[in-house]
Chains A and B, each alone.
Chain A
Amino acid sequence: MLIEGDTGTWEMVIGLEVHAQVISEAKLFSGASTAFGAAPNSQVSLVDAAMPGMLPVLNRVCVEQAIRTGLGLKAHINHFSVFERKNYFYPDLPAGYQISQYAHPIVGEGTILLDLEDGEVREVGIERLHLEQDAGKSLHDQDPYKTYVDLNRAGVALMEIVSKPDLRSPAEAGAYLRKLRSILRYLGTCDGNMDEGSMRCDVNLSVRRPGDPLGTRTETKNVNSIRFVQQAIEIEARRQVEVLESGGTVVQETRLFDHRSGETRSMRSKEEAHDYRYFPDPDLLPLELDPAWVAEIKAALPELPDAKKRRFMEDFGLSAYDAQVLVAEQANAAFFEAVLQGPKGRRDPKTVANWVTGAYFGALNASGVGLAEAPVDAEKLGGLLDLIADDTISGRIAKDVFEEMWQTGRPAGEIVEAKGLKQITDTGEIEAIVDKIVADNPDQAAQVAEGNQKVVGWFVGQVMKATQGKANPGVVNKLLKGKLGG
């Protein structure tokens, strides 16, 4: 996105660092549980509390998750990587260092495809992914004078996923985060819940004149929703443009986004920046991966959103938009495919897609329930679509039936039967009604004869009204055209 300043046009250059909490039972270097929401300091091992003489032992599951994520990002897996210590003092960092990866991360360069609003697809580079420990939480609001520390989160495994500075707008940043989250969820390596903090984002941003070399960047820390990321980008980019246009220079620094005041604030400058004194953790051996294990993990990867989208378009003839909407969440795609598969073979993909993305997702959103708790499951929705397909009910009636199904959880056939909603397809029966209506409305019939085709629609409406919508619309149209000679 280009920003029009007072002195011309500016381009924003954005790179994102995402901290994604690894799904694992135990922490990265200890056996303590990672479950969210437990009582403070109830999930802390001796290692997590950095008691004297305690040593980290790498959790194989976390390594597997990082490899899986790397493969999902089509990234290079480094068969040799090194855990290093990042040294700084803070009460929620018990050892006084965070075990992270620095010079030799477990995952190198990869790519991610953004699905943009206009249906365009854009490739963004992944710089690296590395494993590191999360810190604990400092609680400043428990006491007016004291700070309390909760170490439940201390030592939980994070994947830091760093993009290349390939993003150019808040929309692209949003699309990147949504796509990354989608891939992580497909892989089962991170639940992507930004509100629980299991996915957090730092924004690196600079502005420049289009075509110029990169400007000085700032890093905005810990922005905890996609909406806030987009806001922070917008605000920080405008701030930098204002600084530059008023003759100033952008300072390389760490900033904080305050969503309440809608501004970014300086947190610490480059001069105040910590010297983390990274060095290889002597308590841990370099991590060497068996290529056979990596191949095994690769072979077991699920079908990922891009591949699924392609398949939905190629095999089912779906539009890019429909396919994109369906594959964003793995469960939605699975639901779509479950509805698609009828007892008598494949249902019409286009119809299924329209119903799933339309009425069905609409009902889900409106009622605020998830797929698992929805009153209408794939089989019931499929049953409804079958009644449309075999002309038992019209699409119009089907909407009402669906609403009833959502309210009661009853199958479509039962509702149609009980309420007598079966479509009238008997041409003779409909013809009698058509004849009566044409006879009762000679003026309108005359208008049609004079060439006013719009009035045909009025007749269709009258017939549908007379049949409570149950007349097959195709038959009605055909008969009316014959009778009115339109």
Chain B
Amino acid sequence: MSELTRISLAEARDLLGKKELSSKELTEAHAAAVEAARPLNAFITETPDRALAMAEASDARRARGEAGLLEGIPLAIKDLFCTEGVLTTAGSHILDGFQPTYESTVTANLWREGAVLLGKTNLDEFAMGSSNMTSHYGGAENPWRRSDSNAKLVPGGSSGGSAAAVAARCALGATGTDTGGSIRQPASFSGIVGLKPTYGRCSRWGIVAFASSLDQAGPMTRTVRDAAIMLRAMAGHDPKDSTSVDRSVPDYEAALTGDVKGLRIGVPKEYRVDGMPAEIEAIWQQGIDWLTAAGAEVREVSLPHTKYALPTYYIIAPAEASSNLARYDGVRYGLREAGDAPLVEMYEATRAAGFGEEVKRRLLIGTYVLSAGYYDAYYNKARQVRSLIARDFAEAYNHVDLLLTPTAPSAAFAMGEKMDDPVAMYLNDVFTVPASLAGLPGISVPAGLSADGLPLGLQLVGRAFDEETVLRAGGVLEAAAAFDAMPAFVAA
């Protein structure tokens, strides 16, 4: 494996800036890594030719003295972002052959800043899942292996392909989307950094929608600094997304002062859930100790409605999804089955064949909770609880500046585990979902290894639009953890 794929995004940027490296060289190294990593099934579509063309164009721009924030940096893009002229699948059979004629705002922002597209990464179908196993294209594989077993592990989900690609050194960074933990949980499982920004920070325009009030794009990288650099390029107000927020985008990298003295960190007591593995408890305590040692004040806080977060999420997200996915009807694009049959049969055949089991499960749940007679008991109640959950956070932030929690209740599990128990799968999101419901920014930073050698992440959740504090404290955790373990796939 080329040394060029082992450096960080920031290091690559600096080398490119000093003209000690061309984007072409960097991109070729990564395109080769993408190819070499095919056994991981991290990519649904590889775009090496486009990558090379973009890299050459980038080198030409740099030669003219023009350079964006990500000039010449090869990235992987979750296959939920629409990319002009490049197959966009959302991990679903129902979008067969769909090549958008448009570019999502976030990816357009990345290209505007000079980034290079390596390919489109695997994901749970329509971002519904925590394992990447619901993808129509098969699960992506985690480049990590347990120290005592050769079992193939999931990279987490739904942004599993992006996490695997970054962890396997195929890309310097990748985009993810996070609805209930889909950036943070796979980051934790794959030993990388994943940042879900505040809802409204990045435009949702051109991202295949799962649950509109929750979906948010964010960077997945190997370092906190890289996440800061990438977020700055991704973020910004977009008049095409009514829920994107018109606030200037700060220089997030400048926020990485390494100083958390006096910062008040809350540890929510309700997150000490029954049955939490001891090593998760331990890594959490380790995080508390690191931040304390760095001069932060850690104190316990209460988020009393935490226990309702997961059920609330699993009402609101499917409800929105049941409506968002109605457009996949076989009429205008993607799959059409039984095209000569009467309309309703065509609908039924197309959607029966086009959607996988998990998507169907959620569409049924979502349809049910919005139905006449059940709406108030489920959807409306969930909306009310959601506002209580948001209030919990607001109350906590009267006393602290950040919250520290584990990212996920376990390390990566094996492919095939939990597959027959949806609820066990949903429990993966128990620590990430509350911040999603409240729209708050959260980061997962690799903090250590489990007893069997798998990465474990810690999560920091901040105030709305305070990604700077999240990143600053994330940088301190990162430095203290000095996480330098390599996944088996890379080390091999």
* Residues of chain A at the chain B interface (Cβ within 8 Å): 46, 49-58, 85, 87, 89, 91, 94-97, 147, 149, 275, 277-279, 281-285
Contacts and interface: CB of A to CB of B under 8 A. Distances in A.
B126 to A, nearest CB: 10
B374 to A, nearest CB: 10
Contact of A52 (B82, B211, B320): B82
B262 interface: no
B243 A52 contact: no
B246 to A, nearest CB: 12
B100 A52 contact: yes
A58 B242 contact: yes
Q: Which of A50, A85, A95 has the most CB of B within 10 A?
A: A50
A54 B371 contact: no
B347 interface: yes
Given A53-B205, A57-B242, 10 more contacts: A50-B332, A53-B82, A55-B242, A89-B326, A277-B323, A277-B375, A279-B320, A279-B370, A279-B379, A282-B211
Interface of B: 81-82, 88, 90, 95, 98, 100-102, 104, 204-209, 211-213, 239-243, 319-320, 322-323, 325-327, 329, 331-333, 343, 347, 367, 370-372, 375, 379
A278 B102 CA distance: 30
Given A52-B98, A57-B242, A277-B367, A91 B208 contact: no
Contacts of B327: 50, 52, 94-96
Contact of B208 (A46, A53, A149): A53
Contacts of B331: 91, 94, 149
Nearest to A276: B372
Contacts of B239: 57
A98 B370 CA distance: 15
Contacts of A96: 323, 325-327, 329
7 contacts: A46-B101, A51-B333, A57-B240, A58-B242, A87-B323, A279-B323, A282-B212
Nearest to B95: A52
Contacts of B213: 282
Nearest to B213: A282
A283 B95 CA distance: 22
A85 B323 contact: yes
Given A89-B326, A94-B331, A282 B242 contact: no
A277 B95 CA distance: 25
Contacts of B102: 46, 51
Contacts of A149: 331
A283 B319 contact: no
B489 to A, nearest CB: 32
A51 B101 CA distance: 10
Contacts of A285: 242-243
A57 B203 CA distance: 13
A52 B208 contact: yes
Contacts of B242: 55-58, 283-285
Contacts of A284: 242-243
B379 to A, nearest CB: 6
Nearest to B325: A96
Given A51-B333, A53-B208, A277-B371, A282 B320 contact: yes
Nearest to B379: A279
Contact of A54 (B205, B319, B372, B379): B205
B372 to A, nearest CB: 5
Given A46-B102, A52-B82, A282-B320, A95 B208 contact: no
Contacts of B370: 87, 277-279
Contact of B371 (A57, A275, A283): A275
Given A52-B88, A52-B90, A52-B95, A89 B240 contact: no
A278 B240 CA distance: 24
Closest A-B pairs by Cβ, 4 of them: A96-B326, A282-B213, A282-B212, A277-B370
Contacts of B100: 51-53
Nearest to B340: A145
A96 B330 CA distance: 12
Contacts of A55: 204-205, 240-242
A95 B205 contact: no
B243 A53 contact: no
A97 B204 CA distance: 19
Nearest to B370: A277
Nearest to A273: B372
Nearest to A47: B240
A49 B82 contact: no
A284 B211 CA distance: 13
A55 B322 CA distance: 16
Contacts of A54: 205-206
Contacts of B82: 51-53
A52 B100 CA distance: 8
A283 B209 CA distance: 10
A56 B329 CA distance: 19
B267 to A, nearest CB: 31
B209 A53 contact: yes
A13 to B, nearest CB: 26
Nearest to B372: A275
B93 to A, nearest CB: 14
Nearest to B209: A53
Contacts of B98: 52
